[in-house]
Homo-oligomer: A and B are copies of this chain.
Amino acid sequence: MVRLGVIGYGYWGPNLVRNFSEAPGAQVTMVSDMRPDRLMLALRRYPSLKTTSDYRELLRDPDIDAVVIATPVSTHYDLAMKALQAGKHVLVEKPMTATTEQALRLVEEAAVRGLRLMVDHTFTYTSAVRKIKELVAAGSIGEIYYYDSVRVNLGIFQHDVNVLWDLAVHDLSIMDYILPFTPYAVSATGMSHLPGKPENIAYLTLFFEESLIAHIHVNWLAPVKIRRTLIGGNRKMIVYDDLEPSEKVKTYDKGVTFDAGAEVKHQMLVGYRAGDMWAPHLDVTEALLTEATHFVRCVEGAETPQTSGESGLRVVRILEAATRSIGDRGRPVELNLSEKDKKRRAVA
């Protein structure tokens, strides 16, 4: 039985507690939050829970094996580091940290201590994203040409981070899970419409060694909600629309065929291929339950984190570089991959 403590019972914390309560082999024993009313709420739902307004009490509890952190991003590093130092396995909300440097330190600390560090990239546990990963891995898409995502709506303006850290983090974590490549540079543009505040609209391009380009468009100020990703390959193309009630993932047997030999007078023959469309059936299991169950298995040593600290680090590194690029109106920023990171990818 893995016993868990949850720090933060605000917007997302209740979902984590509920799903860990249902995950086999897990037990949430303590919740901490600085707001008494949130602890009251937790207690009403789970009368046998221990609660505290001081997270240090939770870290000191020798009965707790793992800590789940669901607090604002600015506090992630400090809390996660202290949890690791207290010998706890850690699952932390996304984005993992506020800086690349912090992410690196957490990854190292967890490695040194032999503890599990996992980041809550929830979307990678949905059946839609897992199906896409499966299709990509099986070669159905062929060589991947582009990854293009739009994630816009009339959303809550964050005050400490720009819209990339709030919305693009979803796309970056999905891409990190799906694509077998790591980008080497980023160019981003954006705008704030609230003087002195972070950007509420942003566009981000990722460059890869391969002939692959990725682009993410996020916006807190859109009249309609859009959640749509296009993935193009030389064999098939995917449209992933998360707002579709049932057919979220559609694959199109469409593309172009290049006939290099047939080039005549600077005119290359490009043939068009249009075939069937197919939308695979998707399970309806709740992503967070899948993730909670997986984390428990990781703590038990039976599985390896799918959304490890390293993936959290890769995502934060892009967010940090993109924010820098926005300040320079799109000037590309190199991602300075570590040798280890390059090697890891080469092996995979």
Looking across the interface, which residue of chain B has its beta carbon closest to that of A45? B45
**A190 shortest CB reach to chain B, Å:** 7
Chain A contributes a number of interface residues (CB within 8 A of B) equal to: 70
Q: Are A330 and B187 in contact (CB under 8 A)?
A: yes
Contact with B along A138-159 (1 / 0, CB 8 A): 0000000110101010101101
Partner of A237 from B191, B223, B225 at Cβ < 8 Å: B223
Interface residues of A in 15-63 (CB under 8 A from B): none
Q: Are A277 and B278 in contact (CB under 8 A)?
A: yes
Q: Is A130 an interface residue (CB 8 A)?
A: no
Interface residues of A in 106-149 (CB under 8 A from B): 145-146, 148
Q: How far is the CA of A52 from the CA of B328 in the complex (A)?
A: 54
Interface window among A86-94, A95-103, A193-201, A300-308: A193-201
Number of copies of chain A assembled together: 4
Q: How far is the CA of A203 from the CA of B191 in the complex (A)?
A: 16
Interface residues of A in 246-303 (CB under 8 A from B): 246-247, 250, 252-256, 258, 266-268, 270, 272, 274-281
28 contacts between A and B (CB under 8 A): A145-B193, A145-B201, A146-B201, A146-B219, A148-B219, A154-B255, A157-B270, A185-B329, A187-B187, A187-B189, A187-B329, A187-B331, A189-B205, A189-B213, A190-B213, A191-B213, A194-B258, A194-B268, A201-B232, A203-B205, A219-B232, A221-B237, A221-B256, A223-B238, A243-B245, A246-B274, A279-B279, A330-B331
Which chain A residues have a beta carbon within 8 Å of chain B's beta carbons? Answer: 145-146, 148, 150, 152, 154, 156-157, 159-160, 185, 187, 189-194, 197, 201, 203, 205, 207, 211-213, 215, 217, 219, 221-225, 230, 232, 234, 237-239, 243, 245-247, 250, 252-256, 258, 266-268, 270, 272, 274-281, 325, 328-332
* New contact pairs (8) apart from A205-B330, A277-B281, CB-CB < 8 Å: A145-B193, A187-B331, A221-B255, A221-B256, A223-B250, A246-B277, A253-B281, A276-B279
